[in-house]
Amino acid sequence: MNLVVKEISIYIHIPFCTKKCNYCDFYSVQYKSDLVEKYVACLKKEIEFTTSENKLRVKTIYFGGGTPSLLSFQHLYKIISKIRTSFEISKNLEITLEANPINVTKSSAKNWKICGINRISLGAQSFHNSELKILGRLHSKREINSAIETIKKFCTENISLDLIYGIPFQTIKKWKFSLENAIKLAPKHISSYCLSLEKGTYLFDKRAEYSFPTENEQSEMYYEMKKILEKNGFIQYEISNFSQKIFEAKHNLNYWKCGEYFGFGPSAHSFFEMKRWNNFSNLKKYFNSFKDAKLPIEKSKKISQREFISDKIVLGLRLNNGISIAELKEKYDFDTEKEYENTLNKFFQTGYLTKQNDNLKLTPKALFVSNSILSEFV
């Protein structure tokens, strides 16, 4: 009997940072070489323990964090080799590494290429040194430029730049300056998110000391970004993501299309065979799991087809192509227009939703306020 080959994505959480950024609420700890050594050993065990009756082919690997670019060549090579020996590998495998500009050197870029990393997501965030300081970043504008040049020369042309808007004291003029400087570096992809104040972060605790752009100013920044990037050849394919043709982030597209994925490392999330689970967001608990030869799972839940469809609609509407009503009907016998009749009518009337042929899509004016719209499909 031939087993069906299923395609999956893999996320690897690297929980180490030199310094916690002022806005970041992702799980991370201070970088220590002995902790990294122990972590990589446990990570390899977690990959080994994750089995399935199906043959699985990995189509994307994403190293997020934390600061994955802190890992040495040996550690990255061990992790990627373990994945290669544990799963089938797609011929067009995309391997993304999130990198901090200060970790990019000629040597590190060469090593990333040897490991098979073919996409770098560079955490630029801003091209104003004053804004970088507010965000708690350790690099400068000059180091972003140098990092891009080095990555292109010694690793890959496939670079994504991360940018943030809504930073304290930021003006539309300053934001346009960052966008223009990003475009000059000719990345293949730009991701840009509005700064959100998360509990437990430095900026949240100190928010009274800063002047933040108003919601109207943030909206203006968003639509200015959309206009400038599209004018310069970037295609918006998701609410916050723009790329040159064929350079969309395959890994993230798998999330937005409700594909299956395994997350390895503390705080990582997984979705496979209609089951969602997440790992402990604690390195000590993560380590202790392997003493008993157990996976470091904190919570798991089998979801219903109805929950899955809801996720598929909410995530699918983030994409510029939207969702196919006919596909949901054909695959899942789900009548979107009947199930969400009142919600759809409301947003059609307000001009936030449109139906083009068979596809349900957000209109341009809905993009900045999309969270409140999508929440009604949960």
265: phi then psi, degrees, rounded to nearest 5: 105, 165
Q: For residue 39, which amino acid is it?
A: Y
Q: Note the pTM of the prediction, 2 decimals.
A: 0.96
Q: What is the mean pLDDT of residues 39-47?
A: 96
CA atoms within 13 A on the CB side of 377: 27
Q: What is the pLDDT of residue 1?
A: 46
| Contacts for 259 with CB less than 8 Å, ≥ 6 apart | 7, 8, 9
H-assigned helices in 292-351: 305-316, 325-332, 336-339, 341-350
Q: What is the pLDDT of residue 2?
A: 54
Q: What is the mean pLDDT of residues 219-227?
A: 97
Question: Across 27-179, where does the E strand assignment appear?
Answer: 29-30, 55-65, 88-99, 119-125, 159-165
More confident residue, 118 or 1: 118
53 has pLDDT over 80: no
Read off the pLDDT of residues 295-327 as tens digits, 9 standing for 90 and up: 999 999 999 999 999 999 999 999 999 999 999
Q: What is the mean pLDDT of residues 37-60?
A: 91
Return the sign of the alpha-carbon dihedral for residues 250, 255, 260, 266. Answer: positive
75 has pLDDT over 70: yes
Are 131 and 179 within 8 A, CB to CB?
no
- Sketch out the chain's domains with CATH numbers: 5-256 (3.20.20.70), 323-377 (no CATH)
131: part of which helix (H) or strand (E)? Answer: helix 129-135
Residue-averaged pLDDT of the chain: 95
Give percent above pLDDT 90 in the chain: 93
